Amino acid sequence: MSLSLDRLHGLESLEQETLSGILDLAEHFKRVNERRVKKVPALRNVLIVNFFVENSTRTRSSFEIAEKRLSADTLNFNAKSSSLSKGETLIDTARNLQAMSPDILVMRHPAAGAPALLAKHVDAAIVNAGDGWHEHPTQGLLDMLTMREHKGRIDGLKVAIIGDIAHSRVARSNIFGLTTMGADVHVAGPPTMLPPGLNTLGVTAHPRVEPALEGADVVMMLRIQKERMGNDLFPNDREYFRYFGLTPERLTLADDDAIVMHPGPMNRGVEIAPEVADGDRNVILEQVTNGVAVRMAILYLVAGGGQMTQER
Ligand code: CP
């Protein structure tokens, strides 16, 4: 079977076979990353621009490491010191970058839909590194890889996603990916952070955290996306922690072997108690490690390596 991907804007349209194939390939690259010599020549002569117009620690670093491990040529576009600050539009900026013939643009932007918009104006393949509240597909993939490693499967897992669902691109990509893979997804948060129509996405929504946690195999905590809220949607951080924070007591509701995940950045004492964030059930830094392997797999596929992969 060949696995091909000419871009990655989101997980919404990807089929189960494609998602599984990407995770299999990411496992292969994870083994490469465990070797003494971690660099492979797969993307030699491929130029990748990391076009980040919103801050990032994990995603940006891991894309850059993934590119270096694959021997790609890379350019890190710095939005703050660019001519965007002089009034140049996003599209003009991207067209100027396109004039330097990149093969792939890895793009993060605060506006939902920005990667799809740019794709109409540039020839380079766009890989979405997070667009507003819309999607964060490589995060969804690295989360699923982490779940599959720990649980041996995704199909049938009860996954509780707790927090600011309405503004979370991580929640949306996980919902799309996990439901396609057959997981039983429960979301919980204050009613002001649960968008309408969640049931049409195939998830069960709860205005309280406890029913979502009961018997969960995976507990994924989300940060409150204050930068994407018009008004405060809850009284204060202390109130939020009291009703929705993951404490050691609340975690006892989940399965005894449940894993605790968080995409980062974490706000300790708001959505997660420090002792849970550092506890023996957390796999938060494993998620970060898996991010490099997943991004290697995506870049490899988008650069056209899928046929070779399946023959390996
Ligand atoms: N998970 C995530 O997207 O983190 P960064 O914003 O630091 O990239």
pLDDT in tens, 62-87: 999 999 999 999 999 989 899 999 99
- pLDDT for 99: 97
- pLDDT for 236: 85
CB-ligand 1 contact for 287 (6 Å cutoff)? no
- pLDDT for 224: 86
- Ligand 1 geometric centre to CA of 161 (Å): 17
- Residue of 53, 55, 56 best suited for mutating to test ligand 1, as the one with most atoms within 8 Å of CB: 56
In this structure, which amino acid lies at residue 287? Q
Average pLDDT for 264-273: 96
CB-ligand 1 contact for 263 (6 Å cutoff)? yes
pLDDT score of 6 more than 70: yes
**pLDDT digits over 190-226, tens only?**
999 999 999 899 999 999 999 999 999 999 999 987 7
pLDDT score of 311 more than 50: no
Q: Is 136 a catalytic residue?
A: yes
DSSP letters for 250-301: HHTTS-TT-EEE--S---BTTTB-HHHHTSTTB-HHHHHHHHHHHHHHHHHH
- pLDDT for 2: 75
Q: What percent of the chain has pLDDT over 70?
A: 95
- pLDDT for 225: 77
Nearest to 220 by CA among 132, 143, 126: 143
The answer to whether 251 touches 217, Cβ cutoff 8 Å, is: no
Average predicted confidence (pLDDT) for the chain: 94
How far is Cα 168 from Cα 161, in angstroms, rounded to an integer? 11
**Active-site annotation holder among 28, 58, 68, 228:** 58
How far is Cα 15 from Cα 248, in angstroms, rounded to an integer? 36
Total-model pTM:
0.95
